[in-house]
Structure 1
Amino acid sequence: MSRKPNNSGKKWTPSDLRRLKQLSRTTDTPDIAKVLERTESAVRTKASEEHISLKPKDR
């Protein structure tokens, strides 16, 4: 079984959201999850809630 990230259950801060928006432009979802120490599912869910596209534009 996978280890839970350190942020498990932690609320998203404004700083986390800024970082998510920034990373979503150029970074794949699994890598965003690692940087933010969140699960891929948590990243996808929050991105959807915030209307943030997770399709990197600058490859």
Structure 2
Amino acid sequence: MTGEWHKSTYSGQGGNCIEAQARLTATAVRDSKDPDGPVLLFPADAWSSFVAGVKGGEFPPS
């Protein structure tokens, strides 16, 4: 995969993070502790809906 990976600014130094990489038609997501491991690809509209849900409080922190 090419391109720049980004970690949330809310991520601390605990290591329990994901990184995302925006692409033209999808967003790639991986575990920051395993950068050579598997990558999940989400269609752009699905990722946008997920982010809107998080921002709207649909997924409260546990």
TM-score, length of structure 1 as denominator length: 0.31
Q: Which has the larger radius of gyration?
A: 2
More relative contact order in 1 or in 2 (CA 8 Å, sep 6+)?
A: 1
- From the two aligned structures, give the one with the greater strand fraction: 2
- From the two aligned structures, give the one with the greater helix fraction: 1
